[in-house]
Structure 1
Amino acid sequence: MQIGPYTLKNRLVVAPMAGVTDRPFRMLCKRMGAGMAVSEMITSNKALWGTAKTLRRADHQGEAEPISVQIAGADPEQMALAARVNVEQGAQIIDINMGCPAKKVCNVAAGSALLRDEALVGRILEAVVKAVDVPVTLKTRTGWSRDNRNALRIAKLAESCGIAALALHGRTREDLYRGDAEYDTIRQVKAALTIPVIANGDIDSPAKARHVLDATGADAIMIGRAAQGRPWIFREIQHYLDTGETLPAPKIAEVREVLLDHLDELYAFYGEYSGCRVARKHIAWYTKGLRGSNDFRQTMYALESTTGQKAAVALYLDRLAEASERLEYIEADENDNHAE
């Protein structure tokens, strides 16, 4: 998998997810086998660049290459400036967000809302590509709505503007994350382009990864929600693609080490107060479906210190390890909601 001058070690990419793909999570997924991880989106609104949130999102210290930074906005000049500034700060690949379905993004005509204005899409793509001397990629959806699918036109426009690779989520903005991903649409787009195409949507297991690659002909796959609390999914998928064999569930002792290390990274990155709160959702994802996890999480959510939180996690996993060597998912947990 090649993006500009960068050869990825495999075809597995971590999807950009607001509030999730911070530096600690990106670095963890790369250690677990991802070939690339795209940052949380950084706004092109210059007035917000000095905020603590934006500064953290632009922090790539110690991160393995290539460093891909996603930018979001609806003004070509602002997007071009945002691209240049992020390259100056270390970005090696600029990714343009035209896929986010969130209301707060679409309400300012950014993200997937841009798909309603193909002329504006073209102006943004041209402006960003011309502004920087690094590869520019695009993340998008199949269209604004089920009645307005224009992924193929957008994809051809992107290629003509010099976009180096395209990641396509197989849903419209209207679909959000409901229904099945449209792998047929991704296949049609891939067949029409010469640039790399990355398939995204509903890839949650090694077997599904193999199916999506075969069904779409995509050059790579992008994994988002399925990696939350399960960063070893990249290792599992790569092993399956290489051998056709499924790895056993990870040992609880390894999960304990991974999670506690992840917590330490979050605490160091966000500080005591915010670190404790950001960690809650990650702990919820790691423990979802495990024995006794609902009761554990309700207690954990009430803890206000990183020391107490980490000790509670260690004790819970130690008790799980006494009953089983490897992870065993036994609870549905549909009604559990994580807290921040």
Structure 2
Amino acid sequence: MSVKIGNIDLGAFPLLLAPMEDVSDPPFRFVCKQNGVDMMYTEFISSEGLIRDAAKSRQKLDIFEYERPIGIQIFGSEIDHMRQAAEISSMANPDLIDINYGCPVKNVACKGAGASLLQDIDKMVKMTAAVVNATHLPVTVKTRLGWDDNTKNVYEVAERLQDVGIKALTIHGRTRSQMYKGSADWSLIREIKRNPRIQIPIFGNGDIDSPEKAANWRLEYEVDGIMIGRAAIGYPWIFREVKHFFETGTHLEGPTLEERIDVCRTHLQKSIEWKGPKTGIFEMRRHYANYFKGIANFKEYRMKLVSLESVEAIEDVLNDIRNKFDVELV
């Protein structure tokens, strides 16, 4: 049985790339797509920024044909502004619109957006209905278990949002007060999946960082698919490794040094193409440590990579890494 969001066919058990601020931009999405992710989302985009026509918000609407299916994720605290943001986002021609009711960070949640809406379910329902009615596209939602341990209300949220027309729900197995600490608890996600009233796909998110965990939790929690976030940063190979494990029960060998360098280089090139040389090089710096994680005595090279300002100089260091560590890895 294929999992479907509206008319979007995602296959039997889709792997989704989580929308991550300052991470899941087009360059990063490109390397994840090459490694088997089934669906992706933009970074979350402020409804206020879209309405004001802020350059940074508008740029996040950039999507490319090879990325499909792809969703544009929006967040905000005003119902009418979210409605307008849905209209603007629809014109960028994504495959769906996703609403962020899960972001826990202060400057989002304390302004009445993101996970803050978990404290006001009636407003969340009205906002969702406004977005659903503002677009011809399927609308999905990403949220958390609740605001804190005393208000785990996502079971009610799932029913009420389905009733106003959402086509899928992704649940991060933490409360807002947990932020990203502690362990994700997927047991409530399983309860929602077992609720006979729920007909839409339910995706689980939080702490999936290995093929075994993906396979075990797929069975244990009965979700329709899995969303992977932090484990994909600097390691887009996680998607192909999980899929290989699902199919064979065996581990795919991890990326070679050559692959790490090639994907890092591709990511850099895409970053420069999309953002221009200065910003592209600067914003790539956050990824180098992750691409070469686990390589002993790498600090000197990482320090070089995060300080260089020209593509040529970075290419030289990548070549040095290939020559030096290839010898050491043999």
User: What is the TM-score normalised by the length of structure 2?
Assistant: 0.95
Q: Which residue of 1 aligns with 2:326?
A: 321
| Correspondences of 1:1-340 after superposition (within 5 Å) | 1-9=3-11, 10-46=13-49, 49-192=52-195, 193-324=198-329
Answer with 151-160 or 247-256: which moved more.
247-256
Answer with 229-238 or 258-267: which moved more.
258-267
* CA contact 2:29–2:67 (8 Å) conserved in 1: no
What CA distance in whole angstroms lies between the structure 2 residues aligned with 1:15 and 1:190? 20
Q: How many residues align?
A: 325
SS of the counterpart of 1:145?
Answer: coil
Letter in 2 for 1:319: K
SS of the counterpart of 1:207?
Answer: helix
* CA contact 2:51–2:81 (8 Å) conserved in 1: no
Q: Show CA shifts across 1:114-171 (max 9, x none).
A: 1000110010111011111111000000000112111111111111111100000000
Q: Which residue of 2 aligns with 1:328?
A: none
What CA distance in whole angstroms lies between the structure 2 residues aligned with 1:238 and 1:276? 32
Q: Show CA shifts across 1:226-275 (max 9, x none).
A: 00000011000001011111111122112221111111101111111111
What CA distance in whole angstroms lies between the structure 1 residues aligned with 2:77 and 2:270? 33
Answer with 290-299 or 130-139: which moved more.
290-299
- Distance of aligned partners of 1:127 and 1:48 in 2 relative to their CA distance in 1, 3 Å threshold: closer
Q: Show CA shifts across 1:178-198 (max 9, x none).
A: 111111111111112211000
What CA distance in whole angstroms lies between the structure 2 residues aligned with 1:232 and 1:98? 28
Q: Show CA shifts across 1:47-87 (max 9, x none).
A: 66533321221111343311210000011111111111111
RMSD (Å), alpha carbons = 1.4
- Distance of aligned partners of 1:62 and 1:293 in 2 relative to their CA distance in 1, 3 Å threshold: farther
What CA distance in whole angstroms lies between the structure 1 residues aligned with 2:309 and 2:95? 38
SS of the counterpart of 2:181?
Answer: coil
- Distance of aligned partners of 1:113 and 1:274 in 2 relative to their CA distance in 1, 3 Å threshold: same
* CA contact 1:260–1:314 (8 Å) conserved in 2: no
Q: Percent identity?
A: 37
What CA distance in whole angstroms lies between the structure 1 residues aligned with 2:323 and 2:48? 46
* CA contact 2:31–2:266 (8 Å) conserved in 1: no
SS of the counterpart of 1:45?
Answer: helix
What CA distance in whole angstroms lies between the structure 1 residues aligned with 2:236 and 2:150? 36
Q: Gaps (5+ residues) in structure 1?
A: 326-340
- Distance of aligned partners of 1:245 and 1:57 in 2 relative to their CA distance in 1, 3 Å threshold: same
What CA distance in whole angstroms lies between the structure 2 residues aligned with 1:262 and 1:16? 17
SS of the counterpart of 1:314?
Answer: helix
What CA distance in whole angstroms lies between the structure 2 residues aligned with 1:130 and 1:176? 31
User: What is the TM-score normalised by the length of structure 1?
Assistant: 0.92
What CA distance in whole angstroms lies between the structure 1 residues aligned with 2:328 and 2:17? 33
